[in-house]
Chains A and B, each alone.
Chain A
Amino acid sequence: MSTEAPEAPQAPEDSRGGTLRSGKGRLADPIFKWIVATCATIVLVILALMVIRTTSEAWPVFVKEGFFGFLLGEEWVSGSSRTEITGTYGAWPFIYGTLVTSVIAIVIALPLAIMVAVYLTHLAPRRIAKPLSYTVELLAAVPSVIFGLWGLHWFLPNVMRPFFAWLESVLGWLFLFEGPVRGVGYLPAGIVLAIMILPIMTAIIREVVAVQPVEQQMAAYALGSTRWEVVTKVILPASFSGIVAAAMLGLGRALGETIAVLMLIGGAQSWGVSLFSPGSSMASHIAATFGESSPESRIALMAIGVALFLVTMIVNILARVVVWRLGQFTGDAAV
């Protein structure tokens, strides 16, 4: 055999030729990766610095009152020293105020949000659903001070006062609704908080409910389910983790909400089991007294901040446990 092969036609120097190795190297990807990684780290660092800083600032109060003494103490008397802790600092009235207003808010807002979301996604005619969901979302854009003003000057005297009076006359025997009805207090603050957290919760639940597979709903209808059964037995159980997530976000906002609560909760530094009692939440107490605080009471307010952070964290952890435990029984695929 001849080794002289006929000369192969030379491939033209077009884009198909050349080496597969890139001489320059691709820089864009590593750079992009570093930028996003840095941003993620910065968030963590800021959070850590905040926790460390506030805790160390508040340390003297925890030392004097004891950690649980501070959390469960019922008396709050500010001292005016510059160098040491002379007052008595018990944050329980504020912790209680935060918890009770947030629970009221979530108890009212969650069923409402679920119903609005189901209505918007499954029942409302399209020409109503669109404007209505915009309106609900618009509610989220209203500044909380407006809610406070509106709640205090219109909603409280015109709607809540008569409602409270009726509530007291019917359920007054129950410790939660024991009179006297004073106007401002836990209940009005909780109700206005419910209105404030409704939009975010509705928006999230609506998204979760809307992406539930239509096939499963069709299967339920084909078995002779009514719409009610499809909603309560197929759609909502499958949306469970999303609904809890929505409740968490709403609760997070309710726990930290300051101005509207400040305007409606009454500002008392004591606490009472009746929902009509005036009180303070942690955030509202900080905002109300920070301006004219003495150096030592400022440290005590910092300690309330730490407590607020702790409460929020515990609530979130509890919620995750709930999702994890109950999700196994509701068959939520997202768990």
Chain B
Amino acid sequence: MSVSNTASPRGTEIGRGVAPSTVRYNREVPGLGDPVFEVSGLSIHYGSNKAVRDVNLKVGPRQITAMIGPSGCGKSTVLRTLNRMNDLIPGARVEGRVTYHGEDLYASDVDPIEVRRRIGMVFQKPNPFPKSIYDNVAYGPKINGVRGNMDDLVEETLTKAALWDEVKDKLKESAFALSGGQQQRLCIARTIAVNPEVILMDEPCSALDPIATLKIEDLMYELASEYTIVIVTHNMQQAARVSDRTAFFTAGVDDAGDRYGSLVEFDETATIFSKPSDQRTEDYISGRFG
């Protein structure tokens, strides 16, 4: 696999030092094509509580799909259904249909381990293992039985995650010695080291300062030429800067008084941020609530 520092397949140059927002809007939005995920009628229960109701959306290949919305709107919950991380939460139950390349992710014979190997995840707080930088990257390939030159794989992966130059002289040092932004890029490297098709990102920049955030956004942008990325973010500007499509979720209260999250609108990012079709979306992006 080659390092993708060159032009993205969509013909847009990725300029370092150029404000991501301007870069973003020069890019043509890729079509949904043959969708990677198709979510239809998805509801998620926690115990007796139906926390997320009736979500329908599609995630296109090699592009960035953002999920935004106020706290408690269920965007992270929906994200975790895409690689079956919700399985690990006691009492969580999924209703409806989530397909990955047309295959039902929740069919009884689907192995969640295999699902997660192909659909990686980056978390809100940088969570490197308490191991060396090298071992963090090598962990995934090792457990997945990857043979071949691990040193090369680690270098290639760290280069792809735009971290190699900063860490090449201290690969054996603890990952905890890195800054927060570097740790998060290491976590991205760890995820792409197993060569997934999809990277799910759950508010990956919420614990980082603006400079580190921009670096991650640059990185996501570059990775989108090779990977399908779904990002949950609190930061609307971030969604506007990096994503091709945006799903806006909101939190509501039903007749019984239970809070639940639902999808309001799903469209191309430019449309969501310029002429949303739902009043609630417009209120949210214009800062009237949330």
| Chain A interface residues (CB < 8 Å from chain B) | 213, 215-216, 218-226, 229, 233-234, 237-238, 331-333
Contacts and interface: CB of A to CB of B under 8 A. Distances in A.
B127 A218 contact: yes
A221 B131 CA distance: 16
A223 B130 contact: no
B130 A218 contact: no
Contacts, number: 71
Interface string B75-94: 00000000101001000000
A225 B127 CA distance: 15
B135 A331 contact: yes
A331 B190 contact: no
Contact of A224 (B131, B176, B194): B194
Given A215-B123, A215-B127, A220 B139 contact: yes
A225 B174 contact: no
B187 interface: yes
Contacts of B140: 223-224
7 nearest interchain CB pairs?
A: A224-B117, A215-B127, A222-B121, A223-B140, A331-B130, A331-B131, A224-B116
Given A216-B129, A216-B130, A333-B130, A223 B116 contact: yes
Given A219-B129, A222-B120, A223-B190, 7 more contacts: A216-B127, A216-B128, A216-B129, A222-B83, A224-B140, A238-B129, A238-B130
A222 B125 CA distance: 14
Given A218-B88, A332-B130, A229 B123 contact: no
Interface residues of B, number: 29
B187 to A, nearest CB: 7
Contacts of A221: 85, 88, 116
Contacts of B120: 222-223
B88 A225 contact: no
Contacts of A222: 83, 85, 116, 120-121, 123, 191
A9 B243 CA distance: 62
Contacts of B125: 215
Contacts of A215: 123, 125, 127
A234 B127 CA distance: 12
Interface in B46-61: none
Contacts of B114: 224
A221 B121 CA distance: 9
B188 to A, nearest CB: 11
Contacts of B187: 219
A233 B123 contact: no
